[in-house]
Amino acid sequence: MKKLINNPTAVVEEMLEGYVAAYSRYVRQLPQNPRSIVSVNTVRPGKVGVICGGGSGHEPSFLGLIGKGMMDGVPVGNIFASPPPDPILEVTKAVDAGAGVLYLYGNYAGDCMNFDMAAELAGMEGIRVETVRITDDVASAPKSEEERRRGIAGDFLVFKVAGAAADLNYNLDEVVRAASKANQMTKTMGVALSPCHIPQTGRPSFELGADEMEIGLGIHGEPGVQRGKIKPADEVADDLLDRIFADMPLSKGDRVVVLVNGLGSTTYMELFIMFRRTAQVLADKGIEIHRSYVGEYVTSLEMGGCSISLMKVDDELARLIDHPADCPMFVQMS
């Protein structure tokens, strides 16, 4: 494991220093806690505050998505570990503008515990907090136990919808409704090719043979649903899409937003080759692509592989996806 780092135990602090120095037009660290990052220009009276968070190592998520039309703040955890309640509460207080605050995060036990604790503490201080847990990873539990599923790249699409809704002055109940709909309509299937290495341990996040891939392997190395020899990209895309269609039936005339997300070391060339097949399959089924995102949105350090997410959109979700956004690591004109 070769990495451009200094002290393996200080990588998150040093990343945050660099991030805030690079993008001080957008973000600042709260004086009481460098792990509490908030927007410098999105909090305004009457706007619902929207927070997302989780462990570090998933950049551009979560801290790169703070800005107009997206997140108001992010409490930052250690690598692949939830932030504790303190920074969550601090960010909550900093972004509350009287209209309440929404917590958005992938559905992992540590995040659930810490964000719930912060929500309770915020409530005691008179701040109304609601939560939408993201559960887009089809591989992580059967349909009958959907509420147990993890959140992976689909996080980004739910953040996009919720951030736009808040920017359009939806009230808290309405932002929760839009974010929940976005989560219900978003399904993701991933494929892993190679592990990442945690700076502190230097160990790979999982082991995979030199000619193997694993379908559904999680972004922290959680076991997937099928391991086998690597196949041509079109076959991999077909497999991922078949599993999504089995979970969320789509019909001719439906509209979807497509996200092909790279996990870290997979090239843009491969992501576009995966997108190409996705677009072919959707065209064959008469499903319209409303908008496409191809790139790195939710990474797992330098893990190899990618995921395909489909969000089935109605007019409201389409409008919220199209709303402009201006963040350090994600900008969209309209």
Which residues is 105 bridged to in the sheet?
Answer: 133
Q: Minimum CB separation from its own copies for residue 80, in Å?
A: 12
Write down the catalytic residue from 58, 197, 290, 323: 58
Catalytic residue among 197, 220, 290, 323: 220
Cβ-based nearer residue to its own copies, 115 or 330:
330
Closest CA to 333 of 27, 62, 68, 20: 68
- Assign 3-class secondary structure to 34-84: EEEEEECCCCCCCCCEEEECEEECCCCCCHHHECECCECEEEEEEECCCCC
* Residue numbers at the binding site for its own copies (CB under 8 A): 2-6, 11-12, 14-19, 21-23, 56-57, 59-60, 64, 191, 193-194, 196, 210-211, 213, 230, 232-234, 236, 258, 260, 264-277, 279, 292, 294-296, 299, 301-302, 304-306, 326, 329, 331-333
197 is catalytic: no
**If you write DSSP's letter for every residue of 225-280 in order, what string do you get?**
SEEEE---HHHHHHHHHHHHHHHS---TT-EEEEEEEE-BSS-HHHHHHHHHHHHH
Judged by CB, which is closer to its own copies: 82, or 135?
Answer: 82
Question: At its nearest, how many Å lie between its own copies and the CB of residue 304?
Answer: 7
Q: Which is nearer to its own copies, 127 or 236 (CB)?
A: 236
In the bound complex, what is the minimum distance in angstroms from residue 239's beta carbon to its own copies? 12
**C-alpha 81 chain-centroid distance:** 15
CB 93 → its own copies: shortest distance, Å? 26
Taking the complex as a whole, the smallest distance from the CB of residue 79 to its own copies amounts, in Å, to 8
Over the range 183-212, which residues count as b (16 or more CB within 10 Å of their CB) and which as e?
bebbbbbbbbbbbbbbbeeeeebbebeeee
Note if 290 is an active site residue.
Answer: no
| Residue 165, CA distances (Å) to 47, 67, 268 in order | 10, 14, 30
Is residue 71 within 8 A of residue 91, CB to CB? The reply is no
Q: Is the peptide bond before 80 cis (omega within 30 degrees of 0)?
A: no
Nearer to its own copies, 123 or 268 (CB): 268
Using the minimum distance from each CB to its own copies, give the nearer residue, 13 or 314. 13
Q: Are 71 and 194 a contacting pair, CB within 8 Å?
A: no
Active site (catalytic) residues: 58, 220
